[in-house]
Chains A and B, each alone.
Chain A
């Protein structure tokens, strides 16, 4: 079955290594992703904060284009884009007046019928069945799987079994040979969209996350959201000022970690694009003891 792909804006900019590593892993496993032609921005927090109709219409345009392309499932790796596309879809499906209002705005029909996959669902359904034959390295180290908000909540959209203590990413990291730790900040918020307008708040919230991960012995933090990654990585200087002792714990995308275990080169996985060096995790490949 064809798998549609919605990169979203971050994955073409500050979060491009998420897309690079996702494609590298998919390619390794022989899985093709088909980008939605002429997709647009989901509107993110700005649209839902300022204009409800716009917050449905922007994702709806992308959904309409996917339908035109005949895509029955769409992978949306960015947590924030996933939240917006899935929320818009819920509104389109549950309200006929909303659906006709939006297709009127868009001047094209939209049903909201495609299945929208989180990155975890994509990995479980398409990568896991074939992954074992490609995993050549054990990424032997302790890792903190950080889910953040929009891959955890609301649970009717994210479909996680345990939204307060999810295990989906932990399962991926175990496959990669790492040891996921039990910790308290798995689904806390990093400060998300306040990154630029209130950097002080982002530093405080993100510092709590980094501090808990480090104090429990994690050697890396693994994420599946470009905003979480940017806040924990790019904002590390500000974060370290909030902590008693600063930390240089690297923050990887889950697809980068999985790619390393598949023997894909660090460069191809975009591991050189980080602000906090990822060298420590790269050197864990094949390490004997945790």
Chain B
């Protein structure tokens, strides 16, 4: 499912970020605005500016620490950090790359697995129908996360208010989307 982003293990994570995302993390001078403005800083195990500093160091031990952090999965891509960064470091795009690299190296933090499960359930639903159906997504996620009863109390009123469709929306030819996924995933 995920990108085979870069196969070159000999590159440091910092070099991979440069090559894949096109961002030179060396430009960060640690003003800390990214962390100060991050809506999730209270929840994170590594602060956004710390991740940048650790990338700069190119120390192998730090690479594992970054890729097993929960921070990379909590990032909501709200873009506050990037908007306020005096050096315009595209931290949200770096986070996307780090998530993909964390999967590739099999280092996803167990605490973050439900977030990953949700993303995968989402894409599986899109791959099936070309459109997202909230009911299909919810069922798929519940089965994979085993949170079977979560949100169950909301389902009847969502149905009643016409917010939860029982008949899935689809593109005209779902196999076209399946083919697209297949081509991209190789």
Q: Which residues on A are within 8 Å of B, measured CB to CB? A: 9-10, 12-14, 16, 38-41, 43-54, 57-58, 61, 105-106, 149-150, 153-155, 163-164, 187-189, 191-194, 196-199, 201, 205, 234, 272-275
Of the candidates A40, A150, A196, A205, the one whose C-beta lies within 8 Å of that of B138 is: A196
B82: chain A residues at CB < 8 Å are: 153-154
Q: Quote the shortest CB–CB distance from B43 to chain A (angstroms).
A: 6
Docked-complex contact B76 and A189, CB < 8 angstroms: yes
Of the candidates B2, B96, B99, B177, the one whose C-beta lies within 8 Å of that of A40 is: B177
Q: What separation, in Å, do the CA atoms of A8 and B2 have in the docked complex?
A: 23
Q: Quote the shortest CB–CB distance from A204 to chain B (angstroms).
A: 8
Q: What separation, in Å, do the CA atoms of A46 and B1 have in the docked complex?
A: 12
6 A-B pairs with CB atoms under 8 Å apart are: A9-B133, A38-B171, A44-B122, A54-B181, A57-B184, A153-B83
Docked-complex contact B117 and A197, CB < 8 angstroms: yes
A154: chain B residues at CB < 8 Å are: 79, 82-83
Docked-complex contact B172 and A38, CB < 8 angstroms: yes
Q: Mark B139-153, 1 if CB is under 8 A from A, else 0.
A: 001000100001100
Q: What separation, in Å, do the CA atoms of A61 and B58 have in the docked complex?
A: 38
Docked-complex contact B150 and A273, CB < 8 angstroms: no
Q: Is the interface of B mostly helix, strand, loop or mixed?
A: helix
B138: chain A residues at CB < 8 Å are: 196
Of the candidates A48, A191, A234, the one whose C-beta lies within 8 Å of that of B154 is: A234
The 8 closest A-B pairs by CB, nearest first: A46-B122, A153-B79, A9-B132, A149-B78, A46-B119, A197-B118, A189-B78, A189-B39
Binds A, one of B8-16, B26-34, B60-68, B157-165: B157-165
Q: What separation, in Å, do the CA atoms of A191 and B171 have in the docked complex?
A: 29
Q: What separation, in Å, do the CA atoms of A188 and B78 have in the docked complex?
A: 9
Q: What separation, in Å, do the CA atoms of A260 and B78 have in the docked complex?
A: 31
Docked-complex contact A52 and B3, CB < 8 angstroms: yes
A53: chain B residues at CB < 8 Å are: 3, 184
A13 touching B120 in the complex, CB below 8 Å, given contacts A153-B79, A201-B40: no
B56 at the A interface (CB under 8 A): no
Docked-complex contact A205 and B39, CB < 8 angstroms: yes
B177 — nearest CB in chain A belongs to which residue?
A40
A58 — nearest CB in chain B belongs to which residue?
B126
B83: chain A residues at CB < 8 Å are: 153-155, 163-164
A51 touching B180 in the complex, CB below 8 Å, given contacts A9-B133, A196-B141, A234-B154: no
Q: Mark B162-183, 1 if CB is under 8 A from A, else 0.
A: 1111000101100001001101
Docked-complex contact A40 and B171, CB < 8 angstroms: yes
Docked-complex contact B100 and A51, CB < 8 angstroms: yes
Besides A44-B122, A51-B2, 13 other A-B contacts (C-beta < 8 A):
A9-B169, A14-B158, A45-B77, A46-B122, A52-B5, A53-B184, A54-B181, A57-B184, A105-B184, A196-B141, A197-B118, A205-B39, A273-B163
Docked-complex contact A272 and B161, CB < 8 angstroms: yes
Q: Quote the shortest CB–CB distance from B149 to chain A (angstroms).
A: 13
Docked-complex contact A199 and B123, CB < 8 angstroms: no
Q: What separation, in Å, do the CA atoms of A105 and B179 have in the docked complex?
A: 9
Q: What separation, in Å, do the CA atoms of A284 and B118 have in the docked complex?
A: 40
Docked-complex contact A196 and B169, CB < 8 angstroms: no
Docked-complex contact A194 and B122, CB < 8 angstroms: no
A16 touching B163 in the complex, CB below 8 Å, given contacts A41-B130, A54-B184: yes
Docked-complex contact B103 and A50, CB < 8 angstroms: yes
Q: What separation, in Å, do the CA atoms of A57 and B130 have in the docked complex?
A: 12
B114 at the A interface (CB under 8 A): yes
B88 — nearest CB in chain A belongs to which residue?
A154
A9 — nearest CB in chain B belongs to which residue?
B132
A200 — nearest CB in chain B belongs to which residue?
B43
B123 — nearest CB in chain A belongs to which residue?
A46
Docked-complex contact B115 and A153, CB < 8 angstroms: no
Of the candidates B80, B161, B183, B184, the one whose C-beta lies within 8 Å of that of A149 is: B80
